[in-house]
Structure 1
C-alpha cells in the first residue's frame, strides 16, 4: 500500500498556519480541527516547518508567555517529508526512527499535497490485514467445500 492510497481515502486537505502567527492562534487551530500537528507554511504549498501539541506543551512548561510568541519559536524546521509513491511501511519505519507522528506529503516539486499521521498508517495496515484475512477465510471455505 502506498501513501497515495491513504490520501485518496482521507483527502488531501492540509490545515496550515503561518510562522508569524501567535502560538495562541495555533492552539485554537489545533483545537478547532481536533489535530495533533499543523504544517507551518506561508502559502499552503511550501513547508517552513511543522508544529505539534507536544511542541507547545514542552514550551508551556517554561511559562504561558509562549502563547504570545510566533509559531516559528516552537516549530520544528527539520521536517521529514514523504511522497505519494512511498510505501506505508517505509513511512511507518521513518516515523518510528525519528519519533514523529505526522509527516507532510509532497509532490515532485516539493509542494505540499497532504499529511499523514501514525494513526492513518496504522488504520491502513489494519484494513489491509483484515482484507487479507477475509481473502484467506474465503479461500479456505471455498477449498473445503470442493473436497466434501
Structure 2
C-alpha cells in the first residue's frame, strides 16, 4: 500500500505572528529618550522596538545593539532622542510572505527584527527567535510524520 506524497506547506509570516504569545507591537516615539527606550526594552523583554510617531507607521527601529554600540562612544547617550541611534532604513515584510523569504532577508542584511506591514501599517514584528522557533516546530512535525510512516510499514 503506497502512501500519498506529502504536500509541501509554505509557512507564512502571519502563521508565525499568530503563534506568538503577544500580538501587540510595542513602539517608541522618535523623540523619546534612549533611557526610555532601554526601560521599554527591559519592561517588555524584547530586543528591539519599532520607532513610530503614531504607532502604525515605521519611522525606524532601535535595538539593544544600537544602544550598546553607541553608549561606549557617548556616555550622555541615554538622554539623547531615540532618533539619534535608530536605524532609519528598515527592512519590512508583509504577513502573506513566506518565512523562507524572511529568513533570506534576515541573513543577507544581518538583521534580527523585521516589522510586518499590512496595507502599509504596522501589524507585527518578527524576530530571528520567532523564525527559529517556527522552523523547529516544522522540523519536529516532519520528524513525527516520518516516524509514524516508518512504524506503519
**TM-score, shorter chain, exceeding 0.5:** yes
Q: Distance in 1 between matches of 2:55 and 2:143?
A: 40
Paired residues in the alignment total 142
Question: Which position in structure 2 is the counterpart of 1:73?
Answer: 84
2:139 aligned to which of 119, 125, 129: 129
Aligned to 1:146: none
TM-score by length of 2: 0.91
Greater share of helix residues, 1 or 2? 1
Aligned partners of 1:90, 1:12: CA distance in 2, in Å?
21
1:13-28 equivalences under 5 Å are 13-28=24-39
Shift of residue 43 of structure 1? Answer: 1.3
1:25-60 per-position Cα deviation (integer Å, ceiling 9, x unaligned): 001111111110000001111000000000011110
1:102 equivalenced with 2:113 (yes/no): yes
Q: Which runs of 5+ in 2 are unaligned?
A: 1-10
Aligned to 1:141: 151
- Partners of 2:66 and 2:39 lie apart in 1 by 15
Quote the Cα distance in structure 2 between the aligned partners of 1:35 and 1:121.
15
C-alpha displacement of 1:9: 1.1
Question: Structure 2: how far apart are the matches of 1:12 and 1:43?
Answer: 18
Distance 2:23 2:52 in 1: 16
Q: Distance in 1 between matches of 2:140 and 2:46?
A: 27
1:35 equivalent in alignment to 2:41: no
| Correspondent of 2:130 among 115, 120, 139 | 120
Q: What is residue 67 of structure 2 aligned with on the other side?
A: 56
Aligned counterpart, 2:3: none
Give the root-mean-square deviation of aligned CA atoms: 0.8
Question: Helix, strand or coil: the match of 1:104?
Answer: strand
